[in-house]
Structure 1
Amino acid sequence: MDGVELEILWSNLIGVVTERAKALQRIAFSPIVREAGDLACALFDQRGRMVAQANTGTPGHINSLAFAGAHLVREFAGRCEPGDVLITNDPWLSAGHFFDITTLTPIFNGDRLIAYIGSTIHHTDIGGYGIGAGARDVHEEGLWIPPLKLYERGTPNPVLHAMIRRNVRTPDAVFGDLAAQVSSGQAAAEHLIALCERHGLTEIEALSDEIISRSEEATRAAIRKLKPGTYHGESSFDVPGGEVITLKTAVTVDAESGGILVDFTGSSMQTTTGINVVLNYTHAYATFAIRSCLNPDLPNNTGSLAPITLQAPEGSIINCRYPAPVNARHVVGMYVPMPILKALYQVLPERVLAEGSGAVWTIQIGGRKADGQNFTSSMFNYSGGMGARATKPGPSATCYPTGVAAVPVEILEAAMPIVFDRKELRRGSGGAGRTPGGDGQIIAFHMNTQDPWMLNAVPSRLNMGPEGLGGGEPGQPGRFLVNGASVSQARKLNMEPGDRVVLETPGGGGFGPAA
């Protein structure tokens, strides 16, 4: 395909998915989507290959969506009609926990199926236990939606809609977000059809072949420039309850094929709390870590992901078996890049960063307002410091690898009876080094309610600060305080009016010896 023509078509495809992702973000009900950008949007070809992703979204959602979309295409092959919308939140088929719901819209040009548009977003509520890690198995964690049709030929599936509505605490918010996903998919379909008509295309398969093959070859070319061999990395961190998790990686660079194998053998086994990770989510953050070190300007699609393969023992904490609880899977999943970066430090020392705070600290609260109405917050995230880079300090209050933002305090205070007493950088919490780690932050709040309320919190690194790299100093561990007392539990906390909560997130590790 002519290079100029390909560039025009490619930029148009990116425009279609990016515009729809931003529209989805604007019209979503959930603050975690609207304000924090916890979403993904991607275009798939007839064979279920991810062709293009939006320029916004989180790696855990984007690369998991590649697997979820491919599975839905296979599941409903030959059974899709105009007006259908497919749906699932199966943790092992999509993004790793029930809160992340994936929808996929088949795109028809007349009666011909030409592509699919998919999105994954974090929903406000899915029933069950909530966002915390205290459930004993996956069935306690919420409503499981197997691959089904949310809409059939443009008509809502009444049984599925009734099941969802009756099993969640905030049905209006959940269906508002589902409507945002469905409407953004319909608009994307119209834009793709218009693009095909402008350029005289009856389908996008030839374009998809060109994009995916070029992306794969460019990624393999970047890998061939690396020194071949096997490089090892290891990262340990503590999680709610004080348990220490260890992730080990052996990263093998095959210069001949232009492939990379990441082997997690030796990592901790799955646990009884809801911090277990499915392989899709592990793959999402592993590939993100490697690709951001290779050439971050390459397109992210099925082609560029193909040269990177994973091995993880079944039953390990990053490849858990059913029915392991998984609702707080980000607590471990967001640490997946850390041992990989330590391994790549031996090959690309100038492109990696020191350990950061890891997972965002997720907080969910619920209770009753003064007027008697129940409320359940959307999850709000707080980041620690990012690890230092070879030539630049680590950004403060910035979470690598997710990139998700915190919901502004003004939005939260307007939505529920919460009062923030303090929110500032935790000065000096980043590790010293030739380049220092980023600082964490301090957040203090209480609830303005007359009734008891519930707190779900999943902080990590309360005992073990992020390690420095190349002689850099570690960052400070975090602190989670309730009424001045340290707390580290993997279960819901029953709170009283007037109770005060303080979060002090960890600082990032330093890079290189301090002067």
Structure 2
Amino acid sequence: MDGIALEILWGNLISTVSEQARALQRIAFSPIVREAGDLATALFDAEGRMVAQAVTGTPGHINSLAAAGEHFVRHFPAGTLLPGDVLITNDPWLTAGHFFDITVMTPVFRRDRVIGFFGSTIHHTDIGGYGVGAGARDVHEEGLWLPLAKLYEAGRPNALLHDIIRRNVRTPGHVFGDLAAQVASGRVGAERLQALCDRQGLDDIAELSAQVLARSEAATRDSIRRLKPGTFHGESRFDVPGGTEVVLHAAVTIDAEAGEITIDFAGSTPQLPIGVNVVLNYTAAYANFAVRSCLDPELPNNWGSLRPVRVTAPEGSVVNCAYPAPVNARHVVGMYVPFPILKALHQVMPERVLAEGAGAVWTIQIQGKDAGGQSFTSSMFSYSGGMGARRGKPGPAATCYPTGIAAVPVEVLEAAMPVEITCKELRDGSGGAGAQPGGDGQRIGFRLRTNEPWLLNAVTSRTAEGPEGLEGGAPGAPGRFLVNGVPVSEAKKVVMQPADEVVLETPGGGGYGKAGR
């Protein structure tokens, strides 16, 4: 396949999966998906290998979705599928690491055979059980576990599975609304792929997939071969809900001859009794993101380009937890995975890395009854801190790194749930000083419009020590979680009173280089 034809087809594939993502965001019920973009969509070939991803989506979702494709194909061989089938799972160890992230796969049939799949993973606001916090004692307390299954069979709903979901969640209308959005977006992708095959006279995408994946892998290996070989170490420390310190240690080995990178997390904290543990899929997702963003961010992100990077961690560690470890707040640790890797890569390409940032987004889930007595449960995302500074630029303030989701507008939050935002402003000076200063965190306050006690699940981090600077840069300010002005550090749900005010002060990013240099 010549380069010009391949480039035209590649542009068509990116447009197709991006349209799938836009359809998902337009239809979704949840502000987390619709406004914040907490999602991933991708095209897979008939072997379950991710060929192309949309231009929007989080690294944790998209790279975990990439790992899920082959599990679906192995469990549902092509001969067992029918037109109209839609597949589903939220198995933490097969996909994105906790029950809230549900993956839906839509097979694409052409001339009575499967030629590919369109997959999506989104964060659902409710999956029953404990909720999004870290207080559950094992994974079975955390919500509904959906094994690899058919959500639709030959175009008809799997009645038993639908009923099981409906009986196990608090807000079935929202859950099924978001599932319907995933199903509809998969159909949009399938229709666009059929149109592409018609225009180009293709019976399938096997040759196109092989070309894209082979070239992506070769280009990635070539980029690695240009790096200094050796093993380089980095370490990051931070506190999680309840005050426990977590240590992530990464040994990054660059094999320039083979064009491969191995990242080993041996020496990291063992898995914890609270729900911040991370499955290896999610760890690998953010580890790959860290490498790819420094290596050559213009390369396609797919099965081929992910293949030269291998991620290992001791089973039973906080970044490769063993069943039945609780995992619902896995983002708290998972979003710190890039930082020890970046510290190791600083010894190889210092101009391409950044200082430590706030890390994980601060997540709030609220449950209760509004002033009219109507029950509600919802998650509120996008409470980000400051990013770390770069060698030549300051760190952006209040920016979700590494996850990349957007902030949900205050007006949308207040319209979607009985919450009143009392303040939302930058924490001036919370970024670390340096030749390039770190980004500032932010201060967000809220109370609920309710006449009854309500439940708060708050998942915070970096409240003991702020993010480290690089090359003499000062650390950023640590965060603070306040209830009525009193600092709180809890891994479990907290009972709140109607007039209580919650204030979140997210950390600032670390500075880069000594100030005045």
Indicate the TM-score class for this superposition, using the shorter chain for normalisation.
over 0.9
Aligned to 1:373: 374
Give, in whole Å, the separation in 2 of the partners of 1:155 and 1:201: 29
Pairwise CA distance, 1:439: 0.1
- Secondary structure in 2 matching 1:350: helix
Aligned to 1:202: 203
The superposition leaves residues 401-438 of structure 1 with CA deviations (integer Å, 9 ceiling, x where unpaired) of 10012221111111222111100000000000110000
Matching residue's letter, 1:349: P
- Secondary structure in 1 matching 2:350: coil
Give, in whole Å, the separation in 2 of the partners of 1:124 and 1:480: 22
What pairs with 1:232-251 in structure 2 (closer than 5 Å)? 232-251=233-252
Matching residue's letter, 1:508: G
What pairs with 1:54-453 in structure 2 (closer than 5 Å)? 54-77=54-77, 78-453=79-454
Pairwise CA distance, 1:400: 1.1
Matching residue's letter, 1:337: P
Task: Tell me the percent identity.
Answer: 71
Task: Structure 1: give runs of 5+ residues left out of the alignment.
Answer: none
1:246–1:267 Cα contact (<8 Å) kept: yes
Aligned to 2:10: 10
Whether 2:510 is the aligned partner of 1:509: answer yes
1:363–1:381 Cα contact (<8 Å) kept: no
Give, in whole Å, the separation in 2 of the partners of 1:28 and 1:378: 15
Name the TM-score, length of structure 2 as normaliser: 0.99
Matching residue's letter, 2:183: V
Aligned to 1:490: 491
Aligned to 2:28: 28
1:478–1:506 Cα contact (<8 Å) kept: yes
1:386–1:394 Cα contact (<8 Å) kept: yes
- Secondary structure in 2 matching 1:125: coil
Pairwise CA distance, 1:447: 1.0
Give, in whole Å, the separation in 2 of the partners of 1:51 and 1:261: 22
The superposition leaves residues 469-513 of structure 1 with CA deviations (integer Å, 9 ceiling, x where unpaired) of 111000000000001110001000100010011110000000011
2:87–2:151 Cα contact (<8 Å) kept: yes
2:363–2:379 Cα contact (<8 Å) kept: no
Give, in whole Å, the separation in 2 of the partners of 1:371 and 1:429: 40
Matching residue's letter, 1:39: L
- Secondary structure in 2 matching 1:410: helix
Task: Structure 2: give runs of 5+ residues left out of the alignment.
Answer: none
Aligned to 1:19: 19
Give, in whole Å, the separation in 2 of the partners of 1:340 and 1:111: 46
1:30–1:378 Cα contact (<8 Å) kept: no
Give, in whole Å, the separation in 2 of the partners of 1:49 and 1:39: 19
Pairwise CA distance, 1:381: 2.6
Pairwise CA distance, 1:380: 2.2
User: How many residues in Structure 1 have an aligned counterpart in Structure 2?
Assistant: 515
Aligned to 1:459: 460
Name the TM-score, length of structure 1 as normaliser: 0.99
- Secondary structure in 1 matching 2:193: helix
1:67–1:94 Cα contact (<8 Å) kept: yes
Give, in whole Å, the separation in 2 of the partners of 1:142 and 1:151: 22
Matching residue's letter, 1:135: A
Superposed structure 1 runs of 4+ greater than 4 Å apart = none
Give, in whole Å, the separation in 2 of the partners of 1:321 and 1:379: 28
Give, in whole Å, the separation in 2 of the partners of 1:399 and 1:386: 8
The superposition leaves residues 355-394 of structure 1 with CA deviations (integer Å, 9 ceiling, x where unpaired) of 0000000001111012221011133230000000110000
1:281–1:333 Cα contact (<8 Å) kept: yes
